[in-house]
Amino acid sequence: MPIMALAGDIIPTTTWANFYGSVTAYNDNPIPVGSIIDAYDPDGIYCGTDTVDISGKYGFLAVYGDDSRTDDIDEGANPGDSITFYINGRMAVANGPELPVWTELGGESEVNLSASAMLGIESVAMPGDQTTFPGQTVRYYVTVRNTGEGIDFYTISGSTSHGWIIKPMIGFVYALPGGEATIYFDVLIPTAIFHAMTDVVDFRVSSGIDASVYVEGSAITSVEIPTDVGDENEVLLPEGFRLNQNYPNPFNPATTISFDLTSKAAVEFEVFNLLGQTIEHQDLGMLGAGSHSIEFDGHDLASGIYFYRIKVGEGVQVRKMVLMK
């Protein structure tokens, strides 16, 4: 059996033949997206590879031929050679309808393949709890070991108890049998958090071949409020404007929000719910010194507590309002 090589070990030449399969299986199921198909000539030379991007199919897989002008190097197949295929490191059976025989440049052969392997996964390193601040992104790493018989590849998913946004790592992470893979996901902490709180993050690392093969766990994200921020009505940076309490408060369905500027400045207005999700965002542009007001309509919102925020340059002020229907 050839030792599985890296894709970089293939030596492309000016001659190749294309192979493809329209009904290709792994573990008796359509071959999954992300699977790797490798090709070897009779001398065990690694001369072609393809990553599946359509379930159940592969190709065109270019299998390179030997360059006769380089007598001291065997780069690949010769006309009439039988090609051996591997799926995820497991020897595949060639099911036709055509023979897996290398032809001259430009040849195309449909050779459907099948292979199988026992799958297995175990956790190696699970993420610990983390402490962060509002508006930050927290990254959690998970390391797993492939305890199966062939190459496996993994995806990660997760959720939080407060419904915060999770961004999983894009793409697959691969591991040889007995090898390890590290994969991560990011948790986006909302900006509009005004008191210390914790959130439970549940995650799952799944085999890309069979999602029923997985490990899972949880971690806790603790969000702290910086000690130099003070209470929710305090100016952060810099001073030079004032955000007033909305009126009326509680309100139904509309209220007026006013603020005062001491000089001309660019102003943004935002409203958040208790989960830190943005309800409204307005770029008010450059406003002159003096008093200004905004009419906020909560007609489409549910009763509850909301936070409104004014940003003036790098300065921020936040206040709480109550919609009561």
What per-residue confidence (pLDDT) applies to 275? Answer: 74
Residue 45 identity (one-letter amino acid) = I
Per-chain mean pLDDT for the chain: 87
**Residues 6 or more apart in contact with residue 69 via CB below 8 angstroms:** none
Residue 284: predicted pLDDT: 92
- Would you say residue 194 has pLDDT above 90? no
Tokens at 137, concatenated: 């992104």
The answer, yes or no, to whether residue 234 has pLDDT greater than 70, is no
Q: From the CB of residue 205, how many other CB atoms can be counted at a distance below 10 Å?
A: 25
What pLDDT score does 226 carry? 62
Report yes or no: 151 and 88 within 8 Å, Cβ to Cβ: yes
pTM: 0.69
Q: Pick left, alpha or beta for residue 14 (phi over 0 → left; psi -120 to 50 → alpha; otherwise beta).
A: alpha
Q: How far is CA 24 from the centre of its chain?
A: 27
CA distance 176 to 164: 34
Q: Which 3 state secondary structure label does DSSP give 167? A: strand
Higher pLDDT, 2 or 244: 244
Averaged pLDDT for residues 232-256: 72
Taking the C-alpha atoms of residue 240 and residue 317, their distance in angstroms, rounded to an integer, is 11
Alpha-carbon distance of 312 to 239, in angstroms, equals 10
State the pLDDT confidence band at 237, using cuts at 50, 70 and 90.
very low
pLDDT-derived band at 6, boundaries 50, 70, 90: very low
User: What percentage of residues in the chain have a pLDDT greater than 70?
Assistant: 92
